[in-house]
């Protein structure tokens, strides 16, 4: 009997790429929105589109000094696209904050006047709220913000040139915040002159993950496109089901102008057939989009394990589940700590499970720290993860070359030799040795010093350069010493957060570094957008997350109707799996969860197991 092998359907979506290539014609531009569901090869389509621009219009763009622009969701995505396009200078790839700053950077007079009006408005709102509000913590916070904003407004004319870093801390009178850069760029795009500058420099603008791009900025870009449709292409790549953040444009893709192209991709290249079937069930109530798996895809495996919400040892229960998945899939990698990616709801859950909560929580409470904290770029933390931790590790390993390299790059003591300030090199090297000894004494006999002690020891010896944001804390003799009453940072919430952060133990630094670098087993639902893993465990635990925005209990039919935000997050997490998927739900009513997911058609009875480990009745 002959075996009939079904042909590979890899070219199913070729038509969508051809439509996009036709749109990117500088002589007859057409804007478009590409629907691209999870695993559809969206980045591949984006790269192929840009390669068509390189081939057909590269010479023209170089000659005229123009570039095609691409807005990506993360720095990692930016780097990948640039690599695949061989770093061609006619393609400008940037994150949204970098793109916004490229638009407004240098317009210092306009920025100053915008800030003058915006600060006055914010101060008026704070005064009104304070007049109506009660005494307490909220009032104290308002007073701190009032003092800070009033001081900034009064000193605004002292700033000659504003600055901004998309990945930095952005402190000081001349620095703009992430939110301010987006707002300013959005409002400036309402001006005809700014629109002409944008279109003149970038006849093509493509936006990846457009469903999570700031909605107000997207509206401004829609207005630019409408005014310059004959010379400007706005191309959007996205899927509303994968929308994570609330500031995106609602209903994106539903109310497009009639002259826009609307190509679609329906093939899922990433997931096994069983997972694709589950994804179609999950998004069925939201929209009519249905994906098709690759003909060559494996069948794959999905299991749901339901446990009581007050399970005593959740880490132990999840280890048991990983062992069961290893047995079911005959895949020993499930046994390994790093063999599967475990997705949880929010960052503080990861911090608790990976042991760096005391380090993370104080900084996460400060809005201006959140972006750098999530991405590992916050100078406060990079000082410990990159400078101190690496130096301690190299010294413990007696790696003299690594120690010398690290100190050469970041020690003021050695910098003084290079600058010719120290005539006696032996004296300076002896000082370096003593400083290293003082630092390592903190870790003697497996001691685990507070970050504040490490900071003050380093500052006292000048072993390493201290970031500006840590200098006020470094100058204090003890952790409990209050900030100088005349210090402008004394009443700042950031100072209080840093002081609390410095009480955390140094042993928490490696866990945080592994987490933000993607080396840890855990990650958040939001953090893995665009990524994929052979084995995925989705952990659904409303009790531990402690939030109000998401509710897996409602999604699983235990406590009312699910909100769309939770359903979208569930879709995103499930769609990361390349081979097998374990769903772990902690619920107040495990049997109800089992009944509901079977009745909904998401899972079959054999795919659901209710587990009964020991519980913590004190919760």
Q: What is the pTM of this model?
A: 0.80
Structural contact between residues 382 and 434, judged by C-beta atoms closer than 8 angstroms: no
Q: Are residues 248 and 299 in the same domain?
A: no
Structural domain including 508 reads 357-514
Q: Assess if residue 25 is contained within a domain.
A: yes
Which burial class, exposed, middle or buried, applies to 193 when counting CB atoms under 10 A from its CB (0-12, 13-18, 19+)? exposed
SS3 105: coil
Residue where one domain finishes, among candidates 490, 514, 538? 514
CA distance 489 to 473: 11
Q: How many CB atoms lie within 10 A of CB 434?
A: 12
Token pair for 347: 């960052």
CB 105 within 8 A of CB 164: yes
Tokens of 207: 């936006």
Cα 210 to Cα 172: distance, rounded to the nearest angstrom = 32
Which residues of the chain, if any, have pLDDT below 70? 1-7, 137, 167-171, 415-424, 476-492, 525-527, 529, 546-549, 560-562, 615-619
CA dist., res. 209 & res. 473, Å (int):
40
Closest CA to 543 of 444, 616, 439, 454: 616
Residue 90 belongs to a domain: yes
Please report whether residue 58 resides in a domain: yes
- The β-bridge relationship of strands 301-308 and 91-95 is unpaired
Q: How far apart are CA 51 and CA 611, in angstroms?
A: 52
Q: 431-463: per-residue pLDDT in tens? A: 888 999 999 999 999 999 999 999 999 999 989
CATH number where 603 lies: 3.40.50
Q: What does the CA dihedral 567, 95, 97, 103 come to, rounded to 10 degrees? A: -130
The encoded tokens of residue 117 equal 């009006």
Helix (H, G, I), strand (E, B) or coil at 247: coil
Distance CA 87, CA 79 (A): 9
Structural contact between residues 202 and 67, judged by C-beta atoms closer than 8 angstroms: yes
> Distance between CA 246 and CA 504 in Å, rounded?
32
Say yes or no: 60 and 206 in one domain: yes
Give SS3 for 244: coil
Q: Scan for tokens 């987006």, then name that residue.
A: 182
581 in the same domain as 510: no
pLDDT at 178: 84
Q: Are 465 and 375 in a shared domain?
A: yes
Same domain, 369 and 509: yes
55 and 87 fall within a common domain: yes
How far is 123 from 153, CA to CA, in rounded Å?
Answer: 10
CA angle, 420 then 426 then 432, to 5°: 85
**Within 13 Å of residue 67, how many CA atoms lie on the same side as its CB?**
12
| Residues 533 and 584 placed together within one structural domain of the fold | yes
Provide the angle, in degrees to the nearest 10, between the axes of the packed helices 357-364 and 508-516. 60
Ramachandran bin of 398, using left for φ above 0, alpha for ψ from -120 to 50, beta for the remaining angles:
left
96 and 225: one domain? Answer: yes
Cα–Cα distance between 590 and 553 in angstroms, integer?
10
Q: For 152-161, write each residue's pLDDT tens digit.
A: 999 999 999 9
Same domain as 199, residue 121: no
Considering the domain architecture, whether residues 290 and 368 belong to the same structural domain is answered as no
Encoded tokens for 83: 């690599």
Contact 347, 546 (CB under 8 A): no
Output the CA torsion 179→184→186→192 (10° steps): -170
Of the residues 204, 234, 268, the one at which a domain ends: 268
Residues 6+ away with beta carbon under 8 Å from 185: 99, 100, 101, 103, 104, 217, 220
Using DSSP bridges, classify how beta strands 533-540 and 341-344 pair: parallel, antiparallel or unpaired: parallel
Q: Report the C-alpha gap between 341 and 328 in whole angstroms.
A: 17
Q: How many domains does the chain have?
A: 4
Length of the chain: 619
Provide the CATH number for the domain around residue 45.
3.40.50.300
Cβ distance 368 to 148 under 8 Å?
A: no
The reported pLDDT for the residue numbered 483 is 44
Helices of type H across 133-172:
137-154
Q: Are residues 434 and 563 in the same domain?
A: no
Instruction: Calculate the CA dihedral of residues 196, 201, 206, 209 and round it to 10 degrees.
Output: -80
Token reading at 227: 């005014």
Task: State whether 506 and 533 are in the same domain.
Answer: no
In a domain, 553, yes or no: yes
Among 459, 487, 514, the domain-final residue is 514
Give the CA radius of gyration of the chain.
27
- Positive or negative, the Cα torsion across 56, 57, 59, 62? negative
Tell me the DSSP string of 531-551.
--EEEEEEEE-HHHH--SS--
Establish if 5 belongs to a structural domain. no
Between the alpha carbon of residue 350 and those of residues 233, 316, 321, 343, 347, the distances in Å are 41, 16, 18, 9, 5
Residue 548 confidence (pLDDT): 55
Contact yes or no for 460/473 (Cβ under 8 A): no
- Residue 189 covered by a domain: yes
Whole-angstrom distance, CA of residue 617 vs CA of residue 405: 54
């Amino acid at each position: 009997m002959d075996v009939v092998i079904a042909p590979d359907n890899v070219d199913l979506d070729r038509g969508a790429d051809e439509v996009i290539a036709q749109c990117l014609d500088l002589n007859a531009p057409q804007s478009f929105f590409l629907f691209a569901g999870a695993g559809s090869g969206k980045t591949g389509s984006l790269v192929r589109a840009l390669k068509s621009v390189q081939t057909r219009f590269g010479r023209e763009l170089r000659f005229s000094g123009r570039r095609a622009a691409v807005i990506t969701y993360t720095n990692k995505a930016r780097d990948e696209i640039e690599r695949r396009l061989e770093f061609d200078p006619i393609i400008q790839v940037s994150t949204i904050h970098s793109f916004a700053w490229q638009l407004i950077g240098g317009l210092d007079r306009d920025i100053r006047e915008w800030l003058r009006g915006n600060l006055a408005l914010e101060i008026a709102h704070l005064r009104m709220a304070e007049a109506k509000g009660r005494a307490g913590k909220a009032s104290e916070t308002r007073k701190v913000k009032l003092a800070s904003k009033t001081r900034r407004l009064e000193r605004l004319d002292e700033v000659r040139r504003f600055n901004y870093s998309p990945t930095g801390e952005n402190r000081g009178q001349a620095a703009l915040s992430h939110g301010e850069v987006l707002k300013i760029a959005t409002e400036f795009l309402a001006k005809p002159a700014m629109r002409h500058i944008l279109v003149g420099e970038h006849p093509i603008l493509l936006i990846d993950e457009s469903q999570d791009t700031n909605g107000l900025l997207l509206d401004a870009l829609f207005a630019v496109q409408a005014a310059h449709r004959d010379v400007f292409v706005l191309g959007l790549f996205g899927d509303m089901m994968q929308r994570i953040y609330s500031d995106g444009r609602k209903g994106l893709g539903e109310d497009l102008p009639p002259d826009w192209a609307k190509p679609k991709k329906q093939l899922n290249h990433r997931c096994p057939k069983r997972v694709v079937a589950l994804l179609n069930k999950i998004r069925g109530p939201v929209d009519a989009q249905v994906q098709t798996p690759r003909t060559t895809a494996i069948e794959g495996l999905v299991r749901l394990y339901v446990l009581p919400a007050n399970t005593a040892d959740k880490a132990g229960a999840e280890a048991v589940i990983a062992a069961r998945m290893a047995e079911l899939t005959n895949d020993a990698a499930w046994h390994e700590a790093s063999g599967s990616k475990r997705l949880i709801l929010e960052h503080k859950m990861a911090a608790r499970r990976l042991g760096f909560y005391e380090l993370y929580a104080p900084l996460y409470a400060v809005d201006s720290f959140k972006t750098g904290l999530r991405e590992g770029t916050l100078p406060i933390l990079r000082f410990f993860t990159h400078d101190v931790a690496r130096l301690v590790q190299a010294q413990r390993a007696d790696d003299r070359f690594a120690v010398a390299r690290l100190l050469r790059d970041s020690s003021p003591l050695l910098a003084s030799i290079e600058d010719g300030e120290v005539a006696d090199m032996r004296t300076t090297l002896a000082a370096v040795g003593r400083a290293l000894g003082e630092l390592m004494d903190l870790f003697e006999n497996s001691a685990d010093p507070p970050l504040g002690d490490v900071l003050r020891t380093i500052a006292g010896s000048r072993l390493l350069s201290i970031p500006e944001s840590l200098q006020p804390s470094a100058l204090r003799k003890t952790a409990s010493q209050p900030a100088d009453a005349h210090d402008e940072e004394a009443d700042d919430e950031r100072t209080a957060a840093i002081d609390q952060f410095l009480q955390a133990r140094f042993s928490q630094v490696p866990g945080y570094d592994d987490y933000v670098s993607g080396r840890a087993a855990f990650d958040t639902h939001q953090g893995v957008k665009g990524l994929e893993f052979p084995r995925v465990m989705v952990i659904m635990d409303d009790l531990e997350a402690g939030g109000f925005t998401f509710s897996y209990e409602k999604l699983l039919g235990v406590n009312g109707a699910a909100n769309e935000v939770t359903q979208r997050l569930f879709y995103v997490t499930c769609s990361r799996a390349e081979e097998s998927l374990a769903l772990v739900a902690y619920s107040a009513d495990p049997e109800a969860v089992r009944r509901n997911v079977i009745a909904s058609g998401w899972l079959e009875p054999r795919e659901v197991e209710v587990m009964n480990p020991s519980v913590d009745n004190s919760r």
